[in-house]
């Protein structure tokens, strides 16, 4: 799959995919909290990755898509998987266990700031005023989401460090994916990443989480959270993110995820009964502004679009 260009906004064909990704991963935060309330974290991640591998390989095969990794591209695939799958999933799940899940989610989505900076340094993507505004608005929204709990983050420095580390590894994996691409369709590429990442995560689960596991003992809410992750988060959402990351510039793709923690906060109202504060609404306004910097076309692009349409009249 080839990138769709090097513009400064999200390609139009990806906008509905971004909507699905934002809703899917946003709702996943309370669903994940339900799941790990009765299932050990690394066992949960192992099960999710196994479902993702099976589902995405089946999808690729049913669609007649290429499955074989091109010769010479295994090293880059392994490196990408270590950052995108292992780094994010291991650090994030331990970060959530060491601090409140809402704060952990917000720190995890500092990823766009790292993504913009790394894409400028490694890929040479321009650090435009538009991107700088997007980062500033997005991080401002994260500060509002944290609100008065910033001191609480300071009281759990290891958890905060895990989440910031998870955000950094996700951003670095995304940039490496752009710098050294793997020539595979999004479904096959995502499945192989999960397959590679599954090995160390399974080993960690076997080492750190011993003892029997009885799935019949799960109550309904955690079971629904697990099923949601198996189908939506680790099949559709990972595929959608990989497709967006391949087709859009790395900085743009990173900024496009800023809305996910906002959806996570407000979906917690529906799923967990949490009550949003005024700062949550302020964060929503700022993050929508951040998202607009990568979704709406720039002024420079508009005359070109109008000029291209004129001859057809």
pLDDT in tens, 133-157: 878 887 787 777 666 556 665 666 7
Q: pLDDT for 76-91, tens place per residue?
A: 999 999 999 999 988 9
What are the CA-CA distances from residue 72 to residues 5, 78, 175, 182 (Å)? 25, 12, 19, 10
Structure confidence at residue 307 (pLDDT): 42
Q: Is residue 306 part of a domain?
A: no
Q: Name the band, by pLDDT with cuts 50, 70 and 90, for residue 101.
A: low
Please indicate, yes or no, if residue 114 is contained in any of the structural domains.
Answer: yes
What one-character-per-residue DSSP string does 194-224 give? Answer: HHHHHHHHHHHHHHHS-S---GGG--HHHHH
Residue 45 lies in a domain: yes
pLDDT digits (tens, 9 = 90+) for 272-299: 776 767 777 787 787 777 767 766 665 5
The number of folded domains in the chain is 1
305 within a domain of the structure (yes/no): no
How far is 252 from 6, CA to CA, in rounded Å?
Answer: 10
Which residue range is the domain that position 239 belongs to?
12-210+221-298
- How does pLDDT run across 198-222, given as a tens digit for each residue? 999 999 999 888 776 777 788 998 9
- The two structure tokens encoding residue 211: 């003892």
Q: Which percentage of the chain shows pLDDT scores above 90? A: 33
Whether 42 maps to a domain, the answer reads yes
CA distances 164 to 137, 201, 216, Å, are 18, 19, 35
Q: Take residue 226 and report the two structure tokens written for it.
A: 């697990």
The whole-chain average pLDDT of the chain stands at 81
């Amino acid at each position: 799959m080839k990138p769709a260009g090097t513009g400064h906004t999200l390609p139009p064909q990806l906008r509905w995919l971004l909507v699905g990704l934002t809703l899917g991963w946003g709702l996943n935060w309370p669903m994940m909290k339900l799941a790990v309330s009765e299932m050990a974290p690394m066992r949960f991640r192992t099960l999710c990755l196994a479902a993702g591998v099976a589902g995405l390989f089946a999808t690729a095969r049913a669609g007649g898509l290429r499955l074989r990794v091109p010769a010479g591209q295994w090293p880059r695939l392994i490196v990408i998987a270590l950052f995108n799958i292992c780094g994010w999933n291991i650090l994030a799940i331990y970060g959530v266990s060491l601090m409140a899940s809402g704060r952990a989610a917000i720190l995890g989505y500092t990823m766009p700031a790292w993504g913009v900076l790394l894409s400028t340094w490694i890929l040479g993507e321009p650090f435009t005023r538009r991107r700088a505004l997007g980062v500033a608005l997005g991080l401002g929204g994260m500060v509002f989401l944290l609100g008065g709990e910033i001191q609480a983050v300071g009281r759990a420095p290891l958890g905060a460090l895990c989440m910031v580390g998870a955000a950094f590894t996700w951003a670095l994996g995304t940039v490496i994916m752009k710098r050294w691409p793997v020539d595979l369709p999004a479904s096959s590429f995502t499945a192989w990443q999960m397959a590679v990442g599954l090995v160390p995560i399974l080993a960690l689960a076997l080492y750190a989480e011993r003892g029997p596991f009885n799935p019949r003992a799960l109550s309904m809410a955690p079971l629904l959270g697990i099923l949601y992750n198996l189908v939506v988060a680790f099949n559709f959402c990972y595929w959608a993110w990989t497709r967006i990351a391949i087709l859009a510039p790395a900085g743009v793709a990173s900024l496009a995820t800023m809305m996910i923690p906002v959806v996570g906060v407000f979906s917690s109202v529906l799923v967990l009964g949490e009550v949003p504060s005024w700062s949550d609404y302020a964060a929503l306004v700022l993050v929508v502004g951040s998202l607009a910097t990568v979704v709406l076309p720039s002024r420079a692009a508009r005359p070109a679009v109008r000029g291209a349409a004129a001859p057809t009249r």
